[in-house]
Amino acid sequence: MNVLIAGGGGREHAIGHKVNQSSKLDKLFFMPGNAGTAALGVNLNGNPEKFEDVKQHLLKHDIDMLVVGPEAPLVAGIADFIANDEELKHVMVIGPKKAAARLEGSKDFAKQFMNRHNIPTAAHQTFGSGDYDKAVDFLKTLKPPYVLKADGLAAGKGVLIINGFEKACNELKEMLAGKFGEASGSVVIEEFLTGIELSVFVLTDGKDYVLLPEAKDYKRIKEGDKGLNTGGMGAVSPVAFADSTFMKKVKSRIIEPTLTGLVKDKMPYTGFIFFGLMNVNGDPYVIEYNVRMGDPETEAVLPRLKGDLLELFEGAAKGDLVRCKYSHNSDYAVTVMLVSKGYPEAYEKGKEITGLSEAAKKHLVFHAGTKESNGKVVSNGGRVIAVTGMAGSLDDAISCTYDGVARVEFEGVTYRTDIGRDLR
């Protein structure tokens, strides 16, 4: 099988690393990929949101399967484009069609879906640009902190959690006036949930699913969960508080009603569903749906998978996931993200990265924002390298990972030193 993985971050490198181990694989391509994926396959120029470019590559390289890493092409309808094109409709796509991708593309749509199918989530109301006064009335009924969410995709920046009522009203006004462009033309206001967060992932063919290992993500830039929000500074899998009693509730109250809801609403689904959950006194609530894997969670989750990921993808695409073998090992995986100095605000690119092959001897080293330049690997983004270490205990996995992290160097390299330590 020839496979194209759309995207170019650590998540896509980690998916590629696993797919590359499959006996079913002939040729592997990435679009656009990075310096790490270039060692696994061929990097193709282009933007996965430009469907005609994708089409040219799919035809030219005789691609059998497209695995879509990020959400934007899915929300824009890449799966529909391929299914509706006479020359492409044989291509298997891992990722949902536009209708179901709205679970991530519109927070209000996701909330309505959850309410319709009795899936536990924070109470909410949605307001449009003319509804400021009504929205303030609703805010008055809530206790602080106030949770304001831009309805649409806002590159991970569209959620504000605000302590003061006055400040919440001001932010709300700015959001409705277009602070996040079209994305905040509607704003979801919801009740604040207190608990511990975790991420749960499934791969589904729309009927059956495999439950992948759960993970905890570290979103803030600084130790102790301080500072600005980022795409993710690290991840750990498994998460001890996701015990079997809790996970049973996740399956029966969240995963299964979500899949049944998709069927009832006539939204066939192929691909990953990422449930962003809050554990509130032992009960799971959905904070958000994503229609893809998480980054950097993928770099901690997929290394724990046993067996053939490409076979699972094929099962998902053909609707016979139930026949696929699936298991994962019980090791701990800890991932630390090495980022550019200044990230998530302004940062410089083009810094030479050294120590990668040394680190790769005992660790998994996934490239995020990197590229090759004059025979050297240089930084090319905010998040640069993800190092994953694995061991039978959390402590050993943490030590192993930081041993790898210390080997990788570039000017201004920045990372959190506390990944996983709160879970001990």
Q: How far apart (Å, rounded) are the C-alpha atoms in residues 202 and 351?
A: 36
> Which residue lies nearer to ligand GLY by CB, 42 or 423?
423
Binds 304: which of ligand AMP, ligand GLY, none (CB < 5-8 Å by kind): none
In the bound complex, what is the minimum distance in angstroms from residue 156's beta carbon to ligand GLY? Answer: 7
* Block residue for tokens 């270039």: 38
Tell which one of 276, 307, 355, 412 touches ligand AMP (CB under 6 A).
276
Cα distances (angstroms) measured from residue 93 to each of 12, 15, 96, 175, 265: 15, 14, 8, 35, 21
Closest residue by Cα to residue 258 from 96, 92, 70: 96
What is the rounded distance in angstroms from the CA atom of residue 230 to the CA atom of residue 232?
5
Question: Rule CB under 6 A: is residue 295 a binding residue for ligand GLY?
Answer: yes
**What would the DSSP string read from start to end of 201-255?**
EEEESSS-EEEPPPBEE--EEETTTEEEE-S-SEEEES-TTS-HHHHHHIIIIII
Nearest to 232 by CA among 308, 141, 344: 344
Asked if 160 touches ligand AMP (CB under 6 A), the answer is no
Q: Which two tokens stand for residue 283?
A: 């009960």
Name the one range near ligand AMP by CB under 6 A: 192-200, 261-269, 315-323, 327-335.
Answer: 192-200
The answer to whether 290 contacts ligand GLY (rule: CB under 6 A) is yes
Which residue's entry shows tokens 């044989």? 90
Q: Using CB under 6 A, pick the residue from 190, 205, 308, 314 that binds ligand AMP.
A: 190
Structure token digits, residue 91:
């291509």
Which one, 192 or 402, has the nearer CB to ligand AMP?
Answer: 192
**For ligand GLY, which is the closer residue by CB, 171 or 295?**
295
Q: Which does 171 bind (CB under 5 to 8 A by kind): ligand GLY, ligand AMP, none?
A: none
Task: Pick between residue 57 and residue 149 the one whose CB is nearest to ligand AMP.
Answer: 149
**Minimum CB distance to ligand GLY, residue 71 (Å):** 8
Q: Please state the closest distance from residue 345 (CB atom) to ligand AMP, in A.
A: 18
For 59, half-sphere exposure in the C-beta direction (CA atoms, 13 angstrom radius) is 11
Q: Could you say which DSSP state residue 51 is in? A: H
Site for ligand AMP in 75-134 (CB under 6 A): 122
187 within 8 A of 129, measured Cβ to Cβ:
no
Closer residue to ligand GLY, CB minimum distance, 9 or 315: 9
Judged by beta carbon distances under 5 to 8 A according to partner kind, the member of ligand GLY, ligand AMP, none in contact with residue 294 is: ligand GLY
Cβ atoms of residues 62 and 85 within 8 Å: no
Indicate the residue among 107 and 363 with the shorter CB distance to ligand AMP. Answer: 107
Residue given tokens 């998902």 in the structure block = 316
- Report 363-402 residues binding ligand GLY (CB under 6 A): none
Q: Can you tell me which of 49, 80, 131, 197 binds ligand AMP, judged by CB under 6 A?
A: 197
- The total number of residues written for the chain in this structure: 424
Burial of 191: CB neighbours in 10 Å, binned 0-12, 13-18, 19+:
middle
CB of 297 to ligand GLY, least distance (A): 6
The single residue among 132, 138, 192, 241 that binds ligand AMP, judged by CB under 6 A, is 192
297 near ligand GLY, judged by CB under 6 A: yes
Report the DSSP beta bridge partners of residue 216: 236
Q: Minimum CB separation from ligand AMP for residue 144, in Å?
A: 12
CB of 219 to ligand GLY, least distance (A): 7
CA 407 to chain centre: 27
- Please give the full DSSP string across 307-355, using - where no structure is assigned: S-HHHHHHHHHHT-GGGS--EE---EEEEEEEE-TTTTSS-----B-B-
Q: How many residues bind ligand AMP (CB under 6 A)?
A: 12
Q: How far is the CB of 109 from ligand AMP (least distance, A)?
A: 13
Binding site for ligand AMP (CB under 6 A): 122, 147, 149, 159, 161, 190, 192-193, 197, 276, 287-288
Binding site for ligand GLY (CB under 6 A): 217, 231-232, 290, 294-295, 297
